[in-house]
Structure 1
Amino acid sequence: MNLKYILFVDDDEMNRELFSGAIEDWNEKQEGAGRRFVPEIATSYEEAINALDRYKIDCALLDLRLPQAVNDRETPAIGNKLAKEVLYSQGLPLAVLSGHPGEIDESLRDLGLIEAFDKGDADGYESALDWLADKWHMMGTLRAAKSSIDQSTAEVFAKRLWPRWSAYASLEGSQEKLNRIIARQYVSHIADILGLDNEVGIGWHPFENYNVPALFDNRAHTGDIFRLEDGLWVVLSPQCDMATQKIPNVILAGCAPGYDRWLENVETLSTSTNEKAREKASAYFRNLVNQNLPASKHFLPPLPGEVEPLLVSFGNIKTVPLAELNALLNRRVASVSSPFISNLVQRFGAFISRTGQPNLEVDHFAN
């Protein structure tokens, strides 16, 4: 049986009974498909947080007018607070089921991710469950990914953190600093473990080349791609100089969309049953991802939502004042993710620092 654990939060007993009936009906209809929601019910913000801490929850369905704790006054602010906790602290899909769905926080509504249902509608509960069930595959993938992260976390602890704990002992007086350092150690080691190219590793998908949106909300960063009036440009200046604002200007390189025979080879790899044709197309893509290109060029996969790749031209560069670029963050379309930034910057450094050699006149070798 394929189970998904759903947190339902409502302080009204009748609404909890209606939900229990709706979920029993939904489970009965899905029995043939082998799917089943397992409910965890809470009556307040406090109970909901405790449930999120104690159980592995896959999704949540929340009322908006909730009390902070049992017997407290109901306010939509508490429901919105809980919704943000579920989304940003727990990373779970959620829906709102309320008699006042218009009270959902504007910042949550603007995300375009959270659906609000009216519990006064005859099919409000059923519609909310169906909407969450549409995310069944996503919930399963998230649970599997978290399990993989948990396993890697345990490996990091056993092999790297616990044996070296004495090195952190001097920081135990500053708990906040120690928490940050340990969290950073976990994240960096797990990223290295999961990202290694080895016999059990999974090849990177092209969309992993980008962060969308960019990681830094309030400033430009190395690898950011901007759509300016004269086309697409990628930031090449060192991130340390940009973060500390030690440089007045930022270096950008032009990005030209498209590459010769790209769409033709995509079609071959997608549809052809001819092994020789597929191998030829595979070799075409391997040359690009391995950067077997002129020194002045760098390949980037298609941006999310686009079909053709980008070719960065190190021979087409310009500078923009850092303050001006930071004022254009609304024109930033993506950012090259950290595992791919170093190769981009190294290739630019190699191109820009090459000295070449004076042009010896070959006819003089005969004299």
Structure 2
Amino acid sequence: MKNNQWKRIVLKVGSALIAPERKGCSSRYLLHIAKFILQCRDQGIEVILVSSGSVAAGSHFFGNLENPSLAIKKAMAAAGQNEMMAAWDRFFDFPSAQILLTHGDLRDKERYDSVRETMFALLDNGILPIVNENDVVTTDELKVGDNDNLSAMVAAAADADSLIICSDIDGLYNKNPHTNTDAKLIKQVHNIDQSIYDMAGGAHSSVGTGGMKTKIEAAEKATSHGLSTYIINGFKESSFEQLILGNNPGTIFSPYDSPMKEDLHWMTHTAKAQGELVIEDGFDYPFDENSEQLTSNEISEVHGEFAVGDTILVRSEDGKHLAKAEANYSSCLLNFIATHDEEGDEFQHHTGPIISDKNIAYLDNSHEEAHK
């Protein structure tokens, strides 16, 4: 999708661009990124900025420790977030708004919808949303972990046209360009499969946390929602000059021809399974209103704790992940039924399907068409 067809984009900028020397924020690379944002807005293109950098921006307040504790990292994020927002604000003559998120905000459907509504209200009033993970309050349970994947979740929530992810190299290469002089840039990817992931290396920046693998994960999330996704070199001003001209300066990932529906995309790529059901081998799925429905008789194991309405993982006894779905019953009740055959038969006579047949995201490739 060329820039003159964009209506709304999400731009992800990493820590190494914000605070390249961990001495606070620097305008060294931000100036040409800000210019690109201004040019987009001048063309009527709405922009949402996903900006890492709060920890890197705040680290100098704590002596740039080599191995800071988790508590110190959270304090760095708290101190650096203000500095990062101020750094962006000084480039613009229009207002911006800070949106701090955790995975807990996105995987809860009510809060996810609230985030959507807030972003739309900001955009409708000409305000630039600047999104970051809320490092101060995140835990292992609540964190996304990298802003590449966060940017894809935000792009899907915002109904954007394109996601642009800044990297420290020109795009996806067939091999690591830092160690292979014959590495070739892949200009376009039509289908993200295992061979694409095999090309992705680790993170090379001492500041950022997202390597190429997380960028491919983000591209897979975004393209399945119908977004064109770019990986570009954010350190080069020419990358943004080419983008604004409608050219591809890096790697573009083509969107699905038939994108996932909003609710199924959220369940597949954003919602986190609160538990899992193991079903007996041989059960003929998919589990929907047009085929055999999953009942208590097919459950062999129940793992985790979940309530009615929570997202759960359904897998086979051989370990294959089959689907994510909305639970119609709690783990407590299903655990009881799974271990009491006689009560299970009685339960089956008086209840409906174990999972909702309306919100099912299939994870097995053989049912790929079911959620496109």
Asked which structure has the greater CA Rg, the reply is: 1
Greater relative contact order (Cα < 8 A, sep 6+):
2
- Per the TM superposition, whether the score is higher than 0.5 is no
TM-score, length basis structure 1? 0.32
* Larger proportion of helix: 1
TM-score, length basis structure 2? 0.32
